[in-house]
């Protein structure tokens, strides 16, 4: 039977835990890109570099832009935002690879689901077989099944007989083996007696029986007219039926033999499997590894920029102290003294990084911030 179509059947190609993990990965990567962009000095750009009194730098990754950039990559769409720093480019590349694998796996498995849905029992009964033309059908020539179709008064069976008679002799076979061989070759349905059909299907897993019985005929034992064995044989058969001996003999010789194949349930055969964590879990490992590498690279970027800025601040401070001497107005002896430029107290690398993270968490929607001057305004005049 065909499974009922559900409203959210498009989610079947991936297991529910995969959808949850993809959503969690999307949130985590978006936040990671935002934090790395705030830590990396290469993501900050000066807005008005000529205005030395009010140096303002800007960062393109706000929290909303980070989420938009990540979802755009997942949906295979472009974006006006592009990363500049090495760390943000690493995580963006890993996320792009992750998105490629997830989308490709989903698309391939979705095609498998749609194909299986179309192939689930396309022919259920004789009416379906008679109303189509792609699969030809026939029966044993001069057999009881052929006689049944030829003499039937049911419209469906009369239609099937006309089609078989028009395709004669291609629709008929001389032996059962010939009919089974044509079925295995494809696009052919062989109509035969139910007892023989059941025996063959139990031993060839490539064959299947579609629909129920078209006609019911019982087997009998023929005796001469007036034979005294007639009633005795009939009573013996009835007694065997009542005790279940005939069914036991049928199961013994038809089903419980070493020749019967181990047939898998049709429900399992007709259903494609959703991709789980065991199938595509490796791409999540690659994503986590890429995130760790991006964090390490971002730390070194921040450390190198911190040391460069600290060295530049010391040099600028010394220049201001040596070259900018002004006369302090309250001095009565008219002596000239040096007005030292203000130098913020030195902070360690970890404190500086903590301040950057605190700014990122407190000011999530701010693109701009002031840049600390390396020398005071009076020293620059």
**Which residues sit in the known binding site for L-glutamate?**
144-145, 193
E strands, the chain, are 44-46, 56-59, 136-140, 172-173, 188-191, 325-326, 337-338, 368-370
Q: Binding site: which residues? A: 144-145, 193
Where b means 16+ CB within 10 Å and e means fewer, 70-103 reads: beebbeeeeeebebebebbbbbbebbeebbebbe
132 touches 125 (CB < 8 A): no
Give the span between the Cα atoms of 94 and 88, in whole angstroms.
10
Minimal CA–CA distance to 340: which of 359, 358, 330, 326? 326
Cα 191 from chain centre: 42
* Six token digits for residue 349: 């690398």
Can you read off the two tokens belonging to residue 70?
């990540």
Residues 98, 287 contacting (CB under 8 angstroms): yes
C-beta separation of 131 from 121 below 8 A = no
The residue to which tokens 């832009």 are assigned: 65
| Residue pointed to by tokens 């494809």 | 186
User: Residue 57 in contact with residue 316, Cβ under 8 Å?
Assistant: no
> Which contacts of 347-351 are long-range, i.e. CB under 8 A and separated by 24 or more positions?
349/302, 349/303, 349/306
Identify the DSSP state of 14: B
358, 312 in Cβ contact below 8 A? no
Decide if 207 contacts 200 (C-beta within 8 A). yes
């Amino acid at each position: 039977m065909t499974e009922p179509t559900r409203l959210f059947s498009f989610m079947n190609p991936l297991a529910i835990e995969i959808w949850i993990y993809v959503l969690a990965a999307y949130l985590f990567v978006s936040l990671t890109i935002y934090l790395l962009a705030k830590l990396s000095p290469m993501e900050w750009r000066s807005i008005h570099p000529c205005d030395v009194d009010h140096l303002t730098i800007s960062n393109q990754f706000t929290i909303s832009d980070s989420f938009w950039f990540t979802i755009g990559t997942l949906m295979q769409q472009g974006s006006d935002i592009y990363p500049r720093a090495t760390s943000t480019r690493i995580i963006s590349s890993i996320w792009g690879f992750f998105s490629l694998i997830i989308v490709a796996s989903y698309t391939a498995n979705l095609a498998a689901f749609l194909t299986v849905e179309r192939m689930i029992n396309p022919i259920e009964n004789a009416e379906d077989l008679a109303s189509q033309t792609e699969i030809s059908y026939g029966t044993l020539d001069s057999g009881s099944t052929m006689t049944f179709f030829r003499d039937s008064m049911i419209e469906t069976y009369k239609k099937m007989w006309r089609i078989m008679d028009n395709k004669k002799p291609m629709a008929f076979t001389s032996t059962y083996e010939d009919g089974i061989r044509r079925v295995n070759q494809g696009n052919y349905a062989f109509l035969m007696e139910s007892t023989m059909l059941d025996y063959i299907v139990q031993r060839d897993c490539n064959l299947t029986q579609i629909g129920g019985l078209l006609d019911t005929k019982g087997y009998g034992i023929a005796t001469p007219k007036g034979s005294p064995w007639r009633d005795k044989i009939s009573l013996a058969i009835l007694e065997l039926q009542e005790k279940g001996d005939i069914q036991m003999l049928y199961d013994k010789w038809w089903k419980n033999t070493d020749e019967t194949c181990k047939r898998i349930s049709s429900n399992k055969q007709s259903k494609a499997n959703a991709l789980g964590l065991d199938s595509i879990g490796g791409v999540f490992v690659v994503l986590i590894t890429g995130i760790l590498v991006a964090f390490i690279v971002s730390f070194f970027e921040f450390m190198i920029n911190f040391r460069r800025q600290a060295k530049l601040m010391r040099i600028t401070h010394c220049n201001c102290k040596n070259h900018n001497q002004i006369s302090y107005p309250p001095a009565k002896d008219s002596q000239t003294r040096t007005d030292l430029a203000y130098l913020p107290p030195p902070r360690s690398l970890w404190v500086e990084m903590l301040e950057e993270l605190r700014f990122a968490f407190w000011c999530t929607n701010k693109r701009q911030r002031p840049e600390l001057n390396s020398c005071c305004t009076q020293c620059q005049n």
